[in-house]
A and B are shown apart, each in its own frame.
Chain A
């Protein structure tokens, strides 16, 4: 029997059954007997000394079980972890879960109330008395690094946390007498990740053991970190990530709330629950981006790139989050993108401010890098009077040049930039739109057309472990999977990745179905509970398929190896003569004798007739540590209409041709691209986390922080080219972040392109109507 392959099949998701019927298990849905609710009291000041704090009035409130300040946890709350000290001398201040002496951003927690219900807990917060002595807040990165600036951490003597330098090639030669030099400053505004599910934590003590449910992307890493921070032994902690409502990086962490919930459950010996409000979330879930990019390229007159220089200031916020300092480094290797050049110079300084700490947000460093280089390529095209596609073509790595080692030292295994670009240009009707643009310009149409180009690549997988080690990253990059066949031939797989919308239950089952030759419906995938999924490094950095998927393949191979031995024994043939296809073992040359894998596993479980020494089960454990990152790429083209009278930007069409290597499930891949595009477009046009002059976040609600709605976004035209990765057996490259990385420069590039005739070569993101209108006014003022 030959069955159609599952890999490549647009399977509808297994996960949906519970999600479309409301039968989900979000953390906030969990109710335990005797459970209390926790509320956090948070600093209203950006920077202040706590001169007095008294929680006792809160304890008098009816229904309150307990109230604690930071001092009550002084002996047990360790500093929150940072796993990526990027330099030997990086400044790493203590980051207490509950502040004791000083607060350094609005929203930093100082005390908690535990009460019988959430309303009582919230009410009782008001009874807590705190006296603050305000200190001058540090809010501007450039001011912060000047001599004599006010300090976020006075004991550290500086606001500059680190400076990381990366020099490749002969920079001196590349810049000497360069005929074309273009210098720009780009601002990556602060973004608030805004997963739809607010964070929530439930922690239940049983004796000296603890079970924590948390809306986290990283149950395994969290478990280890909780043990390190609290000294509760790791084997006494079980972490469960139940249904998790989106993450985008924001649920990577070992947060103050998770630590305090664990310690509170221990103090009280009762289960406790905390669910954040959206405003709490906007204040305290780590933010993304927030960099000042001073960038420059040197080129020859024919457009050939010689050198690229990058000087970054990256806002760390008040403290170092888990991988916050390393986020800009993930971009360092991507500034050169798909282009060949002679030299690269990258310098990044991490700077403390009295703002919410920053960390990974969808793309983490690569969107910033891609934005800068793609915008610079546009500027180069304008400077040389070349089409932006042509200037890219003159510099990109040609398909026959792969594998290619870039100036950043990465080896891109595969890619075909020509093919993706060609496909995109055709779908977009590029020439036709350029003609319309020219026509509108000639007519002086108040609505101008702009075309943006992004020929991006990115690095996925956040592995190999050895490379991570060389960058001083505090974790490995491998992934684990375990596959077991049950007596009746059904399959259970345990994966170390932890999905929160990505559909691993569906796609991993597709891989397993193909490898083991069993029906897709016969596979169940378990994840997100350290008791059942006992080993793993979780989900971030578009790693789940490119690392975790390959671990699943390896686990299947081990099961098959064992099954083959058993089949040979049962069929009384030599193992060398056993063939396996479509779920059937057969003896070479005797195709009429065959045995389905289900019969083999049944026989193995019976164990009546096993080969000597074989254990009576078909199961396996496997890990995978890749030898390289993977490098999806693609060409995105965006057409915008800019109303020069109102500044309003409308995306007229958006074409995304992505090459993510082999596709396991096209439905899910398209969905990832759509969502990624929405977030990248949101940075270009809509979103910005704004602080006032006192350091108050002004965008604490979804009324103030503009997430795009269905009415704000266009219908995307997506397509693919397929150049399999050569560095993993599935040929996959990862897709989680590609859309976000690619789209921001395409959109802003289009807006700027529309307004070139007005003498505009940059508009700060987000390109809101006000900003665009103001830019047009400024340009007109300058001209008159």
Chain B
């Protein structure tokens, strides 16, 4: 059985895993990181989105062995200093979630979106989140939340650099 070493939300884990084990099942069933849910099994819905070395991946379509030597950030790795991440806060303030099942993936995908484009237009946000489905919100408040977080994060970045 392959042996993997992976850092998840700042903690290093070493495990023997079946080659076919999906990253999302490794996170959920082996590490107990159940904050990342599974929505579709076919890479369509994006509920299971996590960051792998800072880039968003759908963890239902990544094997645990592919995460060997990588750094994974899940929703549970945000705001661990006791402060909500600006993106989490924005989702709350703009009412960008209802049932909340898509939310972890939506937040992680949004972070990757802002990494690529710190100041996206509404249309760019909509295009950028095309791979993450939400059945409750009609996306309107999600778009608003991402814009809100982008503004805040750019503001914070400016403060740091100036």
- Chain A complexes with chain B: yes
- Write the residues of chain A forming the contact surface with B, with a CB cutoff of 8 angstroms: 12-13, 15-24, 26, 28-29, 31, 117-119, 194-198, 243-246, 248, 275, 277-279, 500-503, 667-668, 670-672, 674-679, 701-703, 707, 709-711, 713, 715-716, 739
Residues of A within 8 A of B129 (CB): 709-711
Residues of A with C-beta under 8 A to B64: none
Min Cβ gap A189→B in Å is 18
Contact of B104 among A22, A198, A716 (CB under 8 A): A22
In the complex, A522 Cα to B136 Cα: how many Å? 28
The residue that A675 contacts in the complex, of B18, B40, B138, with Cβ under 8 A, is: B138
Q: Which residues of A contact B45 (CB under 8 A)?
A: 196, 278, 702, 707
Can you spell out 13 A-B residue pairs with CB atoms less than 8 angstroms apart? A16-B92, A16-B97, A17-B92, A20-B75, A21-B88, A26-B37, A195-B101, A197-B99, A198-B39, A670-B141, A702-B39, A710-B130, A710-B142
Question: Smallest distance from the beta carbon of B155 to chain A beta carbons, Å?
Answer: 20
**B115 interfacial contact with A, CB 8 Å:** no
Pair count A-B, CB < 8 A: 182
Which residue from chain B places its CB closest to the CB of A11 in the assembled complex? B95
The chain A residue sitting closest to B126, CB to CB, is A710
Contacts of B103 in A (CB 8 A): 19-20
Complex contacts, B139 vs chain A, CB 8 Å: 674, 678, 709-710, 713
Bound complex: CA of A743 vs CA of B21, how far in Å? 43
| Given A26-B37, A197-B99, A710-B132, 9 new contacts (CB under 8 A) | A12-B92, A20-B88, A20-B107, A118-B29, A196-B133, A245-B37, A501-B100, A671-B98, A701-B42
B97 A196 Cβ-Cβ under 8 A: no
Q: Is the CB of A16 within 8 A of B44?
A: no
Tell me, rounded to whole Å, the shortest Cβ–Cβ distance linking A672 to chain B: 8
Q: Are A715 and B122 CB-contacts (below 8 A) given A21-B88, A674-B140?
A: yes
In the bound complex, do residue B135 and residue A194 qualify as a contact, i.e. CB atoms below 8 Å apart? yes
Query: Shortest CB–CB separation between residue B55 and chain A, in angstroms?
Result: 19
Contact A23:B35 (CB < 8 A) given known A277-B41, A701-B40, A702-B42: yes
B110 to chain A, nearest CB (A): 11
B101: A residues at CB distance < 8 A: 26, 195-197, 245-246
> In the complex, how many angstroms separate the beta carbon of B118 from the nearest chain A beta carbon?
19
How many residues on chain B are close to A (CB under 8 Å)?
A: 59
B44 A702 Cβ-Cβ under 8 A = yes
User: Contact check: which of A16, A707, A710, A739 meets B100 at CB < 8 Å?
Assistant: A16
**What is the CA–CA distance of A28 and B148 in the complex, to the nearest angstrom?**
32
Determine the chain B residues whose CB is within 8 A of the CB of A702 once the complex forms. 39-40, 42, 44-45, 133
Instruction: List residues of chain A with CB within 8 A of the CB of B34.
Output: 22, 24, 26, 28-29
- Report the nearest A residue to B92, measured CB to CB: A16
B56 to chain A: which residues have CB within 8 Å?
A: none
Q: With contacts A20-B91, A702-B45, A709-B130 known, is A246 near B40, CB below 8 A?
A: no
- Shortest CB-to-CB span from A287 to chain B, Å, is 15
Residue among A198, A243, A668, A715 making CB contact with B140, cutoff 8 Å:
A715
Pairs A-B, 3 closest by C-beta atoms: A22-B35, A19-B100, A245-B101
CB neighbours (8 Å) of A246 from chain B are 98-99, 101, 135-136
CA distance A12 to B141 in the complex (A): 13
Q: Does B59 contact A (CB under 8 A)?
A: no
> For the complex, is B2 an interface residue (Cβ under 8 Å from A)?
no
Interface check B158, CB cutoff 8 A: no
Known: A31-B32, A710-B129, A715-B122. A197 touches B37 (CB 8 A): yes
With a cutoff of 8 Å between Cβ atoms, the chain B residues found around residue A709 in the complex are: 126, 129-133, 139
Across-interface contacts of B25 in A (CB, < 8 A): 118-119
Verify A703–B42 contact, CB threshold 8 A. Answer: yes
Is the pair A678, B138 in contact by a Cβ cutoff of 8 Å? yes
CB distance from B87 to the nearest CB of A (A): 9
Instruction: Give Cα distance in the complex from A13 to B89, angstroms.
Output: 12
Q: Which residues of B contact A (CB under 8 A)?
A: 18, 20-21, 25, 28-29, 32-42, 44-45, 47, 74-76, 78-79, 84, 88, 91-93, 95, 97-104, 107, 122, 125-127, 129-143
Beyond A22-B76, A23-B35, whether A503 also contacts B98 by CB under 8 A is: yes
Complex Cα–Cα for A507 and B18 (A): 46
Evaluate contact between B140 and A195: CB separation under 8 angstroms.
no
Indicate if the CB atoms of A707 and B97 lie closer than 8 Å.
no
Residues in B with CB closer than 8 Å to A18 are 100
Our pick among A12, A23, A501 for the contact of B93 (Cβ within 8 Å) is A12
Residue numbers in B under 8 Å from A713 (CB-CB): 126, 138-140
CB-CB under 8 A for A668 and B92, given A501-B100, A678-B138? no
Instruction: List A contacts of B42 (CB < 8 A).
Output: 278, 701-703
Contacts of A679 in B (CB 8 A): 135
A16 to B100, CA, bound (A): 8
B143 surroundings in chain A (CB, below 8 A): 710, 715
Structural contact, B75 and A22, CB atoms closer than 8 A: yes
* A197 to B134 alpha-carbon distance, docked (Å): 10
**Among B29, B33, B97, contact of A117 (Cβ-Cβ < 8 Å):** B29
Decide: A28 and B138 in contact? CB cutoff 8 A. Answer: no
For residue B78, which residues in chain A have a CB less than 8 angstroms away from its CB?
Answer: 21
With A195-B99, A502-B98 given, is the CB distance from A711 to B41 under 8 Å? no
The answer to whether A195 and B84 touch across the interface, beta carbons within 8 angstroms, is no
The reply to whether B35 and A501 contact each other, CB–CB distance below 8 Å, is: no
Does A196 contact B134, Cβ atoms closer than 8 Å?
A: yes
Q: Most chain-A Cβ atoms within 10 A of its Cβ — which of B36, B74, B130? A: B130
Once the chains bind, are A677 and B79 in contact (CB under 8 Å)? no
Residue of B nearest to A718 (CB): B140
Closest to A668 in B: B95
The chain A residue with its CB closest to the CB of B77 is A22
Most buried by B among A243, A670, A713, A715: A715
- Minimum CB–CB distance from B139 to chain A (whole Å) comes to 4
Note all chain A residues with C-beta closer than 8 A to B98.
246, 501-503, 671-672, 675
Are A198 and B44 closer than 8 Å at their CB atoms?
no
Q: Give Cα A278 to B132, complex, Å.
A: 15
Q: Please indicate the chain A residues that have their CB under 8 angstroms from the CB of B20 in the complex.
A: 119
Q: Which residues of A contact B41 (CB under 8 A)?
A: 277-279, 701
Partner of A278, one of B39, B100, B126: B39
Chain A: CB-nearest residue to B101: A245
- Contacts A674-B140, A675-B136, A710-B130: A501 and B92 contacting too (C-beta < 8 A)? no
Closest to B39 in A: A196
In the assembled complex, the Cα of A217 lies from the Cα of B80 at a distance in Å of 32
Determine the residue in chain B with the shortest Cβ distance to A248: B135
Which residue of chain A is the closest to B136 with respect to CB atoms?
A675
Considering the chains assembled together, what is the distance between the CA atoms of A85 and B138 in angstroms?
35
Best-surrounded residue of A18, A196, A244, A248 (most CB of chain B within 10 A): A196
- Which chain B positions have C-beta within 8 A of A278? 39-42, 45
**With the chains together, A15 CA to B98 CA distance in Å?**
9
Establish whether residues A196 and B122, one from each chain, have CB atoms under 8 Å apart when the complex forms.
no
CA distance A31 to B34 in the complex (A): 10
| Chain A residues positioned under 8 Å from B36 (CB to CB) | 22
How close is B141's CB to chain A, nearest CB, in angstroms? 6
Q: Quote the shortest CB–CB distance from A350 to chain B (angstroms).
A: 27
Name the residue in A21, A678, A701 with the highest tally of chain B Cβ atoms < 10 Å from its Cβ: A21
Minimum distance in angstroms from B103 CB to a CB of chain A: 5
Are A711 and B127 neighbours in the complex by a CB distance under 8 Å?
yes
Complex contacts, A275 vs chain B, CB 8 Å: 38
* Nearest-CB residue, chain A, relative to B36: A22
Instruction: Give Cα distance in the complex from A185 to B100, angstroms.
Output: 39
Closest to A705 in B: B44
Q: Is the CB of B97 within 8 A of A19?
A: yes
User: A21-B79, A28-B37, A710-B125 in contact; A16/B135 too (CB < 8 A)?
Assistant: no
CA distance A22 to B49 in the complex (A): 12
A20 / chain B contacts, CB cutoff of 8 Å: 75, 84, 88, 91-92, 97, 100, 103, 107
B148 to chain A, nearest CB (A): 13
Assembled-state Cα–Cα distance A13/B94 (Å): 10
**B residues less than 8 Å from A500 (CB atoms):** 99
Chain A residues closer than 8 Å to B21, beta-carbon distance: 119
Task: Please measure, in the bound complex, the distance between the C-alpha atom of A20 and the C-alpha atom of B92, giving whole angstroms.
Answer: 7
Shortest Cβ gap from A438 to chain B (Å): 28
